[in-house]
Structure 1
Amino acid sequence: MAVVGAILAGFYLVAVAAAMVAFGQGILPIAIVGSIVLVAAQYKIGKWAALRSVGAEDLPEDQYSEIHQFVERVCREKDLKKPSLKIASMGVPNAFAVGRRGNGTVVVSQELIQLLNRDELEGVIAHELAHIDNRDVITMQLGQGIASIVAIVAQYIVLFTGENDLADFFLAVVVGNIVQFIVMLFVLAVSRYREYVADADAKDVLGRGEPLARALEKIQQGNQQAQQTTQRAQRAQRGRGRAYENRRRNSNVDQQVSALCISSSDSGFLQQIVSTHPPMEKRIRRLRS
Protein backbone atom coordinates (compact mmCIF):
# COMPACT_ATOMS: atom_id res chain seq x y z
CA MET A 1 0.00 0.00 0.00
CA ALA A 2 2.85 2.39 0.85
CA VAL A 3 4.67 1.57 -2.40
CA VAL A 4 1.58 2.10 -4.55
CA GLY A 5 0.72 5.29 -2.66
CA ALA A 6 4.26 6.58 -3.22
CA ILE A 7 3.98 5.78 -6.93
CA LEU A 8 0.70 7.70 -7.18
CA ALA A 9 2.26 10.66 -5.37
CA GLY A 10 5.17 10.41 -7.79
CA PHE A 11 2.80 10.57 -10.75
CA TYR A 12 1.23 13.73 -9.32
CA LEU A 13 4.58 15.41 -8.66
CA VAL A 14 5.81 14.55 -12.15
CA ALA A 15 2.62 16.01 -13.64
CA VAL A 16 3.01 19.24 -11.65
CA ALA A 17 6.70 19.48 -12.54
CA ALA A 18 5.93 18.89 -16.22
CA ALA A 19 3.28 21.61 -16.12
CA MET A 20 5.77 24.03 -14.54
CA VAL A 21 8.38 23.27 -17.22
CA ALA A 22 5.85 23.64 -20.03
CA PHE A 23 3.94 26.68 -18.75
CA GLY A 24 6.23 28.31 -16.20
CA GLN A 25 6.36 28.40 -12.40
CA GLY A 26 3.29 30.60 -12.25
CA ILE A 27 1.21 27.52 -12.99
CA LEU A 28 2.03 25.98 -9.58
CA PRO A 29 -0.72 27.65 -7.48
CA ILE A 30 -3.24 27.06 -10.27
CA ALA A 31 -2.26 23.39 -10.42
CA ILE A 32 -2.58 22.92 -6.66
CA VAL A 33 -5.92 24.73 -6.37
CA GLY A 34 -7.21 22.99 -9.48
CA SER A 35 -6.22 19.61 -8.07
CA ILE A 36 -8.11 20.23 -4.83
CA VAL A 37 -11.20 21.46 -6.67
CA LEU A 38 -11.14 18.49 -9.06
CA VAL A 39 -10.86 15.88 -6.30
CA ALA A 40 -13.56 17.61 -4.22
CA ALA A 41 -15.90 17.79 -7.21
CA GLN A 42 -15.33 14.12 -8.05
CA TYR A 43 -16.05 13.18 -4.44
CA LYS A 44 -19.28 15.18 -4.23
CA ILE A 45 -20.59 14.22 -7.65
CA GLY A 46 -19.54 10.59 -7.22
CA LYS A 47 -21.44 10.20 -3.95
CA TRP A 48 -24.57 11.84 -5.33
CA ALA A 49 -24.45 9.84 -8.57
CA ALA A 50 -23.95 6.52 -6.79
CA LEU A 51 -26.96 7.01 -4.52
CA ARG A 52 -29.11 8.35 -7.33
CA SER A 53 -28.22 5.57 -9.76
CA VAL A 54 -29.72 2.90 -7.50
CA GLY A 55 -32.59 4.99 -6.14
CA ALA A 56 -31.39 4.62 -2.54
CA GLU A 57 -33.90 5.46 0.20
CA ASP A 58 -33.58 5.66 3.98
CA LEU A 59 -33.59 2.28 5.73
CA PRO A 60 -36.63 2.39 8.07
CA GLU A 61 -35.43 1.96 11.65
CA ASP A 62 -38.73 0.50 12.85
CA GLN A 63 -38.67 -2.17 10.14
CA TYR A 64 -34.94 -2.96 10.28
CA SER A 65 -34.14 -2.26 13.91
CA GLU A 66 -31.60 -5.11 14.16
CA ILE A 67 -29.50 -3.64 11.39
CA HIS A 68 -29.53 -0.20 12.99
CA GLN A 69 -28.62 -1.66 16.38
CA PHE A 70 -25.72 -3.63 14.92
CA VAL A 71 -24.36 -0.54 13.13
CA GLU A 72 -24.65 1.53 16.30
CA ARG A 73 -22.74 -1.11 18.28
CA VAL A 74 -19.92 -1.31 15.73
CA CYS A 75 -19.70 2.48 15.52
CA ARG A 76 -19.37 2.73 19.30
CA GLU A 77 -16.54 0.20 19.26
CA LYS A 78 -14.74 2.02 16.44
CA ASP A 79 -15.50 5.53 17.75
CA LEU A 80 -17.17 6.16 14.40
CA LYS A 81 -20.10 8.45 13.70
CA LYS A 82 -23.05 6.36 12.60
CA PRO A 83 -23.42 6.57 8.82
CA SER A 84 -26.72 6.99 7.05
CA LEU A 85 -28.29 3.63 6.23
CA LYS A 86 -30.17 3.26 2.96
CA ILE A 87 -31.88 0.52 1.00
CA ALA A 88 -32.22 0.12 -2.76
CA SER A 89 -33.46 -2.34 -5.32
CA MET A 90 -30.36 -3.18 -7.38
CA GLY A 91 -31.58 -6.32 -9.09
CA VAL A 92 -28.74 -8.25 -7.43
CA PRO A 93 -27.67 -8.91 -3.81
CA ASN A 94 -25.04 -6.27 -3.08
CA ALA A 95 -24.01 -3.39 -0.82
CA PHE A 96 -21.70 -0.39 -0.99
CA ALA A 97 -20.46 2.53 1.08
CA VAL A 98 -19.85 6.15 0.09
CA GLY A 99 -18.72 9.24 1.95
CA ARG A 100 -16.11 10.06 4.51
CA ARG A 101 -15.60 8.96 8.11
CA GLY A 102 -17.75 11.71 9.62
CA ASN A 103 -20.42 11.68 6.94
CA GLY A 104 -20.75 8.21 5.43
CA THR A 105 -23.59 6.26 3.87
CA VAL A 106 -24.07 2.50 3.63
CA VAL A 107 -26.48 1.15 1.03
CA VAL A 108 -27.78 -2.44 1.08
CA SER A 109 -29.97 -3.95 -1.60
CA GLN A 110 -33.35 -5.45 -0.85
CA GLU A 111 -32.14 -8.60 -2.58
CA LEU A 112 -29.23 -8.85 -0.14
CA ILE A 113 -31.46 -8.58 2.92
CA GLN A 114 -33.76 -11.27 1.53
CA LEU A 115 -30.87 -13.59 0.66
CA LEU A 116 -28.68 -13.52 3.78
CA ASN A 117 -29.32 -14.58 7.34
CA ARG A 118 -28.55 -12.23 10.21
CA ASP A 119 -24.87 -12.98 10.87
CA GLU A 120 -24.07 -13.04 7.14
CA LEU A 121 -25.73 -9.66 6.66
CA GLU A 122 -23.84 -8.30 9.63
CA GLY A 123 -20.60 -9.48 8.01
CA VAL A 124 -21.38 -7.54 4.84
CA ILE A 125 -22.36 -4.40 6.76
CA ALA A 126 -19.20 -4.64 8.90
CA HIS A 127 -17.20 -4.79 5.67
CA GLU A 128 -18.83 -1.59 4.40
CA LEU A 129 -18.37 0.15 7.74
CA ALA A 130 -14.67 -0.74 7.54
CA HIS A 131 -14.43 1.09 4.22
CA ILE A 132 -15.81 4.24 5.84
CA ASP A 133 -13.68 3.84 8.97
CA ASN A 134 -10.52 3.36 6.88
CA ARG A 135 -11.35 6.31 4.60
CA ASP A 136 -11.16 4.05 1.55
CA VAL A 137 -13.66 6.11 -0.46
CA ILE A 138 -11.50 9.22 0.01
CA THR A 139 -8.39 7.21 -0.92
CA MET A 140 -9.99 6.00 -4.15
CA GLN A 141 -11.26 9.47 -5.05
CA LEU A 142 -7.78 10.88 -4.47
CA GLY A 143 -6.26 8.21 -6.70
CA GLN A 144 -8.81 8.81 -9.45
CA GLY A 145 -8.21 12.55 -9.12
CA ILE A 146 -4.46 12.05 -9.59
CA ALA A 147 -5.14 9.94 -12.69
CA SER A 148 -7.35 12.70 -14.12
CA ILE A 149 -4.81 15.42 -13.30
CA VAL A 150 -1.95 13.52 -14.94
CA ALA A 151 -4.10 12.93 -18.04
CA ILE A 152 -5.10 16.61 -18.28
CA VAL A 153 -1.49 17.78 -17.95
CA ALA A 154 -0.36 15.31 -20.61
CA GLN A 155 -3.08 16.50 -22.99
CA TYR A 156 -2.24 20.18 -22.55
CA ILE A 157 1.47 19.58 -22.99
CA VAL A 158 0.78 17.76 -26.28
CA LEU A 159 -1.55 20.54 -27.44
CA PHE A 160 0.62 23.53 -26.54
CA THR A 161 3.97 22.07 -27.60
CA GLY A 162 2.67 21.07 -31.02
CA GLU A 163 1.10 23.09 -33.78
CA ASN A 164 -2.25 23.05 -31.98
CA ASP A 165 -4.05 21.67 -35.02
CA LEU A 166 -6.61 18.89 -35.39
CA ALA A 167 -3.92 16.18 -35.45
CA ASP A 168 -2.49 17.45 -32.15
CA PHE A 169 -5.98 17.44 -30.65
CA PHE A 170 -6.51 13.77 -31.46
CA LEU A 171 -2.97 12.93 -30.33
CA ALA A 172 -3.63 14.72 -27.02
CA VAL A 173 -6.80 12.67 -26.47
CA VAL A 174 -4.93 9.41 -27.16
CA VAL A 175 -1.96 10.33 -24.96
CA GLY A 176 -4.26 11.48 -22.14
CA ASN A 177 -6.23 8.23 -22.19
CA ILE A 178 -3.10 6.09 -22.23
CA VAL A 179 -1.50 7.98 -19.35
CA GLN A 180 -4.72 7.88 -17.33
CA PHE A 181 -5.05 4.14 -17.91
CA ILE A 182 -1.50 3.52 -16.67
CA VAL A 183 -2.10 5.52 -13.49
CA MET A 184 -5.48 3.85 -12.95
CA LEU A 185 -3.77 0.44 -12.88
CA PHE A 186 -2.13 1.50 -9.63
CA VAL A 187 -5.38 3.00 -8.31
CA LEU A 188 -7.17 -0.30 -9.00
CA ALA A 189 -4.39 -2.16 -7.21
CA VAL A 190 -5.10 0.01 -4.16
CA SER A 191 -8.81 -0.78 -4.44
CA ARG A 192 -8.22 -4.54 -4.53
CA TYR A 193 -5.93 -4.35 -1.51
CA ARG A 194 -8.45 -2.30 0.47
CA GLU A 195 -11.08 -5.00 -0.11
CA TYR A 196 -8.85 -7.50 1.68
CA VAL A 197 -8.37 -5.03 4.53
CA ALA A 198 -12.12 -4.43 4.86
CA ASP A 199 -12.71 -8.20 4.90
CA ALA A 200 -10.14 -8.59 7.69
CA ASP A 201 -11.70 -5.77 9.71
CA ALA A 202 -15.16 -7.31 9.33
CA LYS A 203 -13.72 -10.63 10.50
CA ASP A 204 -12.36 -8.89 13.62
CA VAL A 205 -15.75 -7.30 14.34
CA LEU A 206 -17.58 -10.63 14.10
CA GLY A 207 -14.83 -12.64 15.78
CA ARG A 208 -14.73 -15.08 12.84
CA GLY A 209 -14.67 -14.93 9.08
CA GLU A 210 -17.19 -17.68 8.28
CA PRO A 211 -20.34 -15.48 8.18
CA LEU A 212 -18.83 -13.07 5.66
CA ALA A 213 -17.37 -15.96 3.66
CA ARG A 214 -20.82 -17.56 3.40
CA ALA A 215 -22.30 -14.19 2.47
CA LEU A 216 -19.78 -13.74 -0.35
CA GLU A 217 -20.59 -17.20 -1.67
CA LYS A 218 -24.31 -16.43 -1.70
CA ILE A 219 -23.72 -13.03 -3.30
CA GLN A 220 -21.62 -14.61 -6.02
CA GLN A 221 -24.29 -17.21 -6.70
CA GLY A 222 -27.01 -14.55 -6.66
CA ASN A 223 -25.11 -12.39 -9.15
CA GLN A 224 -24.55 -15.35 -11.46
CA GLN A 225 -28.24 -16.23 -11.37
CA ALA A 226 -29.18 -12.60 -12.03
CA GLN A 227 -26.83 -12.47 -15.02
CA GLN A 228 -28.32 -15.67 -16.44
CA THR A 229 -31.84 -14.34 -15.94
CA THR A 230 -30.90 -11.05 -17.58
CA GLN A 231 -29.34 -12.81 -20.56
CA ARG A 232 -32.45 -14.93 -21.06
CA ALA A 233 -34.66 -11.84 -20.71
CA GLN A 234 -32.54 -9.93 -23.21
CA ARG A 235 -32.81 -12.71 -25.75
CA ALA A 236 -36.57 -12.87 -25.22
CA GLN A 237 -37.02 -9.09 -25.31
CA ARG A 238 -34.58 -8.31 -28.12
CA GLY A 239 -36.26 -6.30 -30.79
CA ARG A 240 -39.17 -5.22 -28.57
CA GLY A 241 -38.11 -1.60 -28.24
CA ARG A 242 -38.73 0.22 -24.96
CA ALA A 243 -39.55 -2.87 -22.87
CA TYR A 244 -36.19 -4.40 -23.76
CA GLU A 245 -34.35 -1.11 -23.16
CA ASN A 246 -35.89 -0.65 -19.70
CA ARG A 247 -34.98 -4.19 -18.71
CA ARG A 248 -31.43 -3.74 -19.97
CA ARG A 249 -31.07 -0.46 -18.06
CA ASN A 250 -32.27 -2.06 -14.81
CA SER A 251 -29.89 -4.96 -15.23
CA ASN A 252 -26.96 -2.52 -15.43
CA VAL A 253 -27.72 -0.60 -12.24
CA ASP A 254 -25.18 -2.60 -10.26
CA GLN A 255 -22.49 -1.97 -12.92
CA GLN A 256 -22.76 1.80 -12.38
CA VAL A 257 -21.57 1.45 -8.79
CA SER A 258 -19.53 -1.75 -9.19
CA ALA A 259 -16.37 -0.02 -7.94
CA LEU A 260 -18.11 0.62 -4.60
CA CYS A 261 -19.98 -2.66 -4.19
CA ILE A 262 -18.86 -5.59 -2.08
CA SER A 263 -18.66 -7.92 -5.07
CA SER A 264 -17.48 -7.79 -8.66
CA SER A 265 -18.23 -10.18 -11.51
CA ASP A 266 -14.79 -9.87 -13.12
CA SER A 267 -13.33 -13.34 -13.64
CA GLY A 268 -10.88 -13.38 -16.58
CA PHE A 269 -7.18 -12.54 -16.16
CA LEU A 270 -7.39 -9.20 -17.95
CA GLN A 271 -10.63 -8.41 -16.15
CA GLN A 272 -8.93 -9.05 -12.81
CA ILE A 273 -6.07 -6.69 -13.70
CA VAL A 274 -8.51 -3.82 -14.25
CA SER A 275 -10.98 -4.90 -11.56
CA THR A 276 -11.73 -2.95 -8.39
CA HIS A 277 -12.10 -6.23 -6.45
CA PRO A 278 -9.87 -9.27 -5.98
CA PRO A 279 -11.24 -12.69 -7.02
CA MET A 280 -14.08 -13.79 -4.75
CA GLU A 281 -12.49 -17.21 -4.23
CA LYS A 282 -9.33 -15.63 -2.78
CA ARG A 283 -11.34 -13.44 -0.44
CA ILE A 284 -13.35 -16.42 0.82
CA ARG A 285 -10.20 -18.47 1.29
CA ARG A 286 -8.55 -15.70 3.33
CA LEU A 287 -11.63 -15.31 5.52
CA ARG A 288 -11.62 -19.03 6.30
CA SER A 289 -7.89 -19.31 6.85
Structure 2
Amino acid sequence: MRHTGLKVRMVVAMGILFGFYALVASLFAPLVGIPVVVAGSVLFVGVQYVVGKKLALRSVGAESLSREERPEIHERVEELSAAMGIEKPALKVGRMGVPNAFAIGRRGAGTVVLSETMLAMVDEGHMSMDELEGVLAHELAHVKNRDVVLMLLGQSVASIVALTVFFVVRLVTDDIPLVGFVVAYLASIVTQMLVMVFVLAISRYREYVADEDAAEYTGDPEALASALSLIAEVGSHREAADVEGSTAAMCIFGGKRGLLSAIFATHPPMEKRIQRLADLA
Protein backbone atom coordinates (compact mmCIF):
# COMPACT_ATOMS: atom_id res chain seq x y z
CA MET A 1 0.00 0.00 0.00
CA ARG A 2 1.44 3.38 -1.02
CA HIS A 3 2.30 5.71 1.88
CA THR A 4 1.04 3.28 4.50
CA GLY A 5 2.63 5.38 7.24
CA LEU A 6 0.68 8.49 6.24
CA LYS A 7 -2.58 6.59 5.85
CA VAL A 8 -2.22 4.92 9.26
CA ARG A 9 -1.47 8.27 10.88
CA MET A 10 -4.46 9.88 9.18
CA VAL A 11 -6.76 7.08 10.36
CA VAL A 12 -5.45 7.34 13.93
CA ALA A 13 -5.76 11.13 13.94
CA MET A 14 -9.30 10.99 12.58
CA GLY A 15 -10.16 8.35 15.19
CA ILE A 16 -8.93 10.60 17.99
CA LEU A 17 -10.72 13.61 16.52
CA PHE A 18 -13.91 11.56 16.23
CA GLY A 19 -13.49 10.67 19.90
CA PHE A 20 -13.46 14.36 20.80
CA TYR A 21 -16.51 14.89 18.60
CA ALA A 22 -18.33 11.95 20.23
CA LEU A 23 -17.65 13.46 23.65
CA VAL A 24 -19.18 16.74 22.54
CA ALA A 25 -22.16 14.94 21.00
CA SER A 26 -22.77 13.05 24.24
CA LEU A 27 -23.13 16.36 26.08
CA PHE A 28 -25.73 17.79 23.70
CA ALA A 29 -27.63 14.62 22.74
CA PRO A 30 -29.73 14.49 25.96
CA LEU A 31 -30.79 18.09 25.39
CA VAL A 32 -31.71 18.15 21.69
CA GLY A 33 -31.60 14.52 20.58
CA ILE A 34 -29.06 12.50 18.60
CA PRO A 35 -30.51 13.29 15.12
CA VAL A 36 -30.24 17.04 15.74
CA VAL A 37 -26.67 16.68 17.06
CA VAL A 38 -25.59 14.61 14.06
CA ALA A 39 -27.28 16.89 11.53
CA GLY A 40 -25.92 20.02 13.21
CA SER A 41 -22.40 18.63 13.38
CA VAL A 42 -22.36 17.54 9.74
CA LEU A 43 -23.69 20.96 8.70
CA PHE A 44 -21.12 22.74 10.87
CA VAL A 45 -18.20 20.73 9.51
CA GLY A 46 -19.44 21.14 5.94
CA VAL A 47 -19.78 24.88 6.32
CA GLN A 48 -16.38 25.08 8.03
CA TYR A 49 -14.81 23.16 5.13
CA VAL A 50 -16.32 25.39 2.44
CA VAL A 51 -15.75 28.60 4.37
CA GLY A 52 -12.21 27.50 5.29
CA LYS A 53 -11.31 27.12 1.62
CA LYS A 54 -12.76 30.50 0.73
CA LEU A 55 -11.07 32.26 3.65
CA ALA A 56 -7.70 30.74 2.78
CA LEU A 57 -7.97 32.01 -0.79
CA ARG A 58 -9.30 35.39 0.30
CA SER A 59 -6.56 35.82 2.92
CA VAL A 60 -3.96 36.00 0.13
CA GLY A 61 -6.16 37.76 -2.43
CA ALA A 62 -5.92 34.75 -4.75
CA GLU A 63 -6.74 35.36 -8.41
CA SER A 64 -6.78 32.99 -11.38
CA LEU A 65 -3.47 32.32 -13.10
CA SER A 66 -4.40 32.19 -16.77
CA ARG A 67 -2.82 29.88 -19.34
CA GLU A 68 -2.14 32.86 -21.59
CA GLU A 69 -0.13 34.48 -18.80
CA ARG A 70 1.83 31.38 -17.71
CA PRO A 71 1.57 28.65 -20.36
CA GLU A 72 4.63 26.68 -19.19
CA ILE A 73 3.33 26.43 -15.62
CA HIS A 74 0.00 25.11 -16.87
CA GLU A 75 1.75 22.58 -19.10
CA ARG A 76 3.92 21.27 -16.28
CA VAL A 77 0.95 21.00 -13.92
CA GLU A 78 -0.99 19.07 -16.58
CA GLU A 79 1.90 16.62 -17.03
CA LEU A 80 2.35 16.13 -13.28
CA SER A 81 -1.39 15.73 -12.69
CA ALA A 82 -1.60 13.09 -15.40
CA ALA A 83 1.37 11.22 -13.92
CA MET A 84 -0.22 11.31 -10.45
CA GLY A 85 -3.62 10.22 -11.73
CA ILE A 86 -5.51 13.30 -10.54
CA GLU A 87 -7.48 16.01 -12.30
CA LYS A 88 -5.56 19.19 -12.97
CA PRO A 89 -6.32 21.64 -10.12
CA ALA A 90 -7.16 25.29 -10.62
CA LEU A 91 -4.10 27.55 -10.57
CA LYS A 92 -4.13 30.87 -8.75
CA VAL A 93 -1.66 33.56 -7.71
CA GLY A 94 -1.79 35.25 -4.31
CA ARG A 95 -0.07 37.91 -2.24
CA MET A 96 1.94 36.27 0.57
CA GLY A 97 4.90 38.62 0.80
CA VAL A 98 7.33 35.68 0.57
CA PRO A 99 8.00 32.93 -2.00
CA ASN A 100 5.40 30.35 -1.00
CA ALA A 101 2.65 28.06 -2.27
CA PHE A 102 -0.22 25.99 -0.93
CA ALA A 103 -2.85 23.54 -2.10
CA ILE A 104 -6.42 23.37 -0.92
CA GLY A 105 -9.41 21.18 -1.73
CA ARG A 106 -9.80 17.56 -2.72
CA ARG A 107 -9.19 15.42 -5.80
CA GLY A 108 -11.29 16.75 -8.65
CA ALA A 109 -11.79 20.11 -6.92
CA GLY A 110 -8.30 21.17 -5.91
CA THR A 111 -6.60 24.54 -6.14
CA VAL A 112 -2.89 25.38 -6.08
CA VAL A 113 -1.89 28.93 -5.16
CA LEU A 114 1.53 30.37 -5.96
CA SER A 115 2.75 33.61 -4.42
CA GLU A 116 3.49 36.63 -6.55
CA THR A 117 6.95 36.71 -4.97
CA MET A 118 7.74 33.20 -6.17
CA LEU A 119 6.66 33.99 -9.73
CA ALA A 120 8.77 37.15 -9.61
CA MET A 121 11.79 35.07 -8.56
CA VAL A 122 11.23 32.86 -11.62
CA ASP A 123 10.91 35.88 -13.91
CA GLU A 124 14.07 37.44 -12.49
CA GLY A 125 16.05 34.22 -12.83
CA HIS A 126 16.46 33.61 -9.09
CA MET A 127 14.43 30.39 -9.32
CA SER A 128 14.47 28.00 -12.26
CA MET A 129 11.40 26.40 -13.83
CA ASP A 130 12.67 23.00 -12.63
CA GLU A 131 12.76 24.31 -9.06
CA LEU A 132 9.25 25.72 -9.47
CA GLU A 133 8.12 22.38 -10.88
CA GLY A 134 9.35 20.73 -7.68
CA VAL A 135 7.17 23.10 -5.67
CA LEU A 136 4.17 22.41 -7.92
CA ALA A 137 4.67 18.65 -7.60
CA HIS A 138 4.81 19.00 -3.81
CA GLU A 139 1.46 20.80 -3.74
CA LEU A 140 -0.15 18.36 -6.17
CA ALA A 141 1.00 15.52 -3.90
CA HIS A 142 -1.02 17.03 -1.04
CA VAL A 143 -4.15 16.96 -3.21
CA LYS A 144 -3.37 13.41 -4.34
CA ASN A 145 -2.83 12.16 -0.78
CA ARG A 146 -6.02 13.89 0.49
CA ASP A 147 -4.17 15.24 3.51
CA VAL A 148 -5.43 18.78 2.84
CA VAL A 149 -8.96 17.56 3.59
CA LEU A 150 -7.76 16.14 6.93
CA MET A 151 -6.24 19.49 7.87
CA LEU A 152 -9.48 21.36 7.21
CA LEU A 153 -11.67 18.76 8.92
CA GLY A 154 -9.29 18.65 11.89
CA GLN A 155 -9.56 22.40 12.29
CA SER A 156 -13.36 22.09 12.14
CA VAL A 157 -13.50 19.45 14.89
CA ALA A 158 -11.10 21.50 17.01
CA SER A 159 -13.42 24.49 16.62
CA ILE A 160 -16.47 22.41 17.66
CA VAL A 161 -14.72 21.15 20.78
CA ALA A 162 -13.42 24.61 21.67
CA LEU A 163 -16.88 26.19 21.31
CA THR A 164 -18.38 23.48 23.50
CA VAL A 165 -15.79 24.05 26.22
CA PHE A 166 -16.46 27.79 26.05
CA PHE A 167 -20.22 27.41 26.57
CA VAL A 168 -19.87 24.76 29.28
CA VAL A 169 -17.41 26.85 31.29
CA ARG A 170 -19.54 29.93 30.68
CA LEU A 171 -22.60 28.19 32.14
CA VAL A 172 -20.65 27.04 35.19
CA THR A 173 -19.32 30.55 35.82
CA ASP A 174 -22.58 32.35 35.02
CA ASP A 175 -22.59 34.12 38.41
CA ILE A 176 -19.31 35.92 37.62
CA PRO A 177 -19.95 37.34 34.11
CA LEU A 178 -16.66 39.10 33.28
CA VAL A 179 -14.30 36.63 34.96
CA GLY A 180 -16.37 33.72 33.66
CA PHE A 181 -16.11 34.99 30.09
CA VAL A 182 -12.32 35.36 30.32
CA VAL A 183 -11.91 31.91 31.89
CA ALA A 184 -14.21 30.33 29.29
CA TYR A 185 -12.34 32.03 26.45
CA LEU A 186 -8.93 30.93 27.72
CA ALA A 187 -10.18 27.38 28.32
CA SER A 188 -11.51 27.19 24.75
CA ILE A 189 -8.19 28.40 23.32
CA VAL A 190 -6.19 25.85 25.32
CA THR A 191 -8.60 23.07 24.35
CA GLN A 192 -8.38 23.94 20.67
CA MET A 193 -4.58 23.91 20.85
CA LEU A 194 -4.60 20.48 22.55
CA VAL A 195 -6.93 19.02 19.92
CA MET A 196 -4.83 20.53 17.12
CA VAL A 197 -1.73 18.77 18.45
CA PHE A 198 -2.98 15.57 16.80
CA VAL A 199 -3.59 17.37 13.51
CA LEU A 200 -0.19 19.09 13.64
CA ALA A 201 1.58 15.76 14.08
CA ILE A 202 0.06 14.64 10.77
CA SER A 203 0.86 18.01 9.21
CA ARG A 204 4.59 17.62 9.82
CA TYR A 205 4.68 14.06 8.49
CA ARG A 206 2.66 14.91 5.37
CA GLU A 207 5.29 17.45 4.34
CA TYR A 208 7.94 14.73 4.20
CA VAL A 209 5.62 12.52 2.13
CA ALA A 210 4.80 15.35 -0.30
CA ASP A 211 8.52 16.08 -0.70
CA GLU A 212 9.19 12.43 -1.51
CA ASP A 213 6.31 12.30 -3.99
CA ALA A 214 7.53 15.47 -5.69
CA ALA A 215 11.02 14.01 -6.00
CA GLU A 216 9.61 10.81 -7.49
CA TYR A 217 7.30 12.40 -10.05
CA THR A 218 9.76 15.06 -11.21
CA GLY A 219 12.75 12.73 -11.00
CA ASP A 220 14.73 15.65 -9.61
CA PRO A 221 14.93 15.80 -5.80
CA GLU A 222 17.82 18.28 -6.03
CA ALA A 223 15.58 20.84 -7.75
CA LEU A 224 13.01 20.75 -4.92
CA ALA A 225 15.78 20.85 -2.30
CA SER A 226 17.23 23.92 -3.99
CA ALA A 227 13.78 25.54 -4.16
CA LEU A 228 13.17 24.89 -0.45
CA SER A 229 16.54 26.41 0.38
CA LEU A 230 15.72 29.56 -1.61
CA ILE A 231 12.26 29.82 -0.07
CA ALA A 232 13.60 29.44 3.46
CA GLU A 233 16.40 31.94 2.88
CA VAL A 234 14.02 34.65 1.69
CA GLY A 235 11.08 33.76 3.95
CA SER A 236 13.14 33.60 7.17
CA HIS A 237 14.51 37.12 6.78
CA ARG A 238 13.47 39.22 9.77
CA GLU A 239 11.73 41.75 7.51
CA ALA A 240 9.84 39.07 5.56
CA ALA A 241 6.06 38.95 5.93
CA ASP A 242 4.33 36.08 7.71
CA VAL A 243 1.38 34.29 6.12
CA GLU A 244 -1.82 34.23 8.20
CA GLY A 245 -1.83 31.37 10.73
CA SER A 246 -4.39 28.86 9.43
CA THR A 247 -3.28 29.40 5.82
CA ALA A 248 0.40 29.07 6.77
CA ALA A 249 -0.33 25.52 7.97
CA MET A 250 -1.08 24.56 4.36
CA CYS A 251 1.89 26.36 2.75
CA ILE A 252 5.09 24.68 1.58
CA PHE A 253 6.95 27.08 3.92
CA GLY A 254 5.38 27.38 7.37
CA GLY A 255 6.95 30.71 8.29
CA LYS A 256 9.51 31.82 10.83
CA ARG A 257 10.21 29.49 13.76
CA GLY A 258 10.23 30.99 17.24
CA LEU A 259 10.17 28.89 20.43
CA LEU A 260 6.37 28.60 20.60
CA SER A 261 6.00 28.07 16.85
CA ALA A 262 8.56 25.27 17.01
CA ILE A 263 6.51 23.47 19.68
CA PHE A 264 3.28 23.78 17.68
CA ALA A 265 4.98 23.62 14.27
CA THR A 266 2.94 22.64 11.24
CA HIS A 267 6.14 21.87 9.29
CA PRO A 268 9.31 19.93 10.08
CA PRO A 269 12.57 21.94 10.10
CA MET A 270 13.49 22.97 6.56
CA GLU A 271 17.05 21.69 6.97
CA LYS A 272 15.73 18.17 7.68
CA ARG A 273 13.52 18.26 4.61
CA ILE A 274 16.44 19.37 2.46
CA GLN A 275 18.67 16.64 3.90
CA ARG A 276 16.08 13.95 3.19
CA LEU A 277 15.85 15.13 -0.42
CA ALA A 278 19.63 15.11 -0.65
CA ASP A 279 19.62 11.50 0.54
CA LEU A 280 17.11 10.63 -2.18
CA ALA A 281 19.35 12.28 -4.78
Aligned residue runs from structure 1 range 202-217, under 5 A: 202-217=214-229
Letter matched to residue 276 of structure 2: R
1:63-82 mapped onto 2 (5 Å cutoff): 63-82=69-88
1-structure distance, mates of 2:276, 2:156: 31
Report the counterpart of residue 103 of structure 1 in structure 2: 109
How far has the Cα of 1:154 moved from its partner?
Answer: 2.2
What corresponds to 1:158 in structure 2? 169
Classify the secondary structure of the residue corresponding to 2:248: coil
Question: Given residue 154 of structure 2, which amino acid in structure 1 is its aligned partner?
Answer: G
* 1:33 partnered with 2:42: no
Deviation at 1:51, TM superposition (A): 1.8
Q: How does 1:117-266 map to 2 (within 5 A)?
A: 117-160=128-171, 163=174, 166=177, 167-225=179-237, 227-228=238-239, 251-252=241-242, 257-266=247-256
User: Deviation at 1:124?
Assistant: 0.2
| 1:168 to 1:88, Cα distance in 2 relative to 1, 3 A | closer
Q: Is the 8 A contact 1:185 1:273 kept in 2?
A: no
Query: Is the contact made by 1:123 and 1:211 (CA closer than 8 Å) also made in structure 2?
Result: yes
CA contact under 8 A between 1:35 and 1:145: conserved in structure 2?
Answer: no
Query: 1:143, CA displacement in angstroms?
Result: 0.6
Scaled by the length of structure 1, the TM-score of the pair is 0.83
Overall identity of the aligned pairs, in %: 45
Unaligned runs of 5+ in 1: 231-250
Aligned residues: 264
Separation (CA, whole Å) in 1 of partners of 2:244 and 2:226: 21
Letter of the structure 1 residue corresponding to residue 57 of structure 2: L
SS at match of 2:110: strand
User: Which of 1, 4, 8 in structure 1 is aligned with 2:17?
Assistant: 8
Aligned pair partner of 2:266 in 268, 271, 276: 276
Partner of 1:92: 98
Post-superposition offset of 1:29:
2.1
1:143–1:187 CA contact under 8 A, matched in 2: yes
Q: Relative to structure 1, is the Cα distance of residues 164 and 73 closer, same or farther in structure 2, using a 3 angstrom cutoff?
A: farther
RMSD: 2.2
Bigger Rg, which one: 1
Deviations 1:200-233 (A, max 9, x none): 11111112421111100000111134x33x5xxx
The answer for unaligned runs of 5 or more in structure 2 is 1-8
**Which moves more between the two structures, 142-151 or 4-13?**
4-13
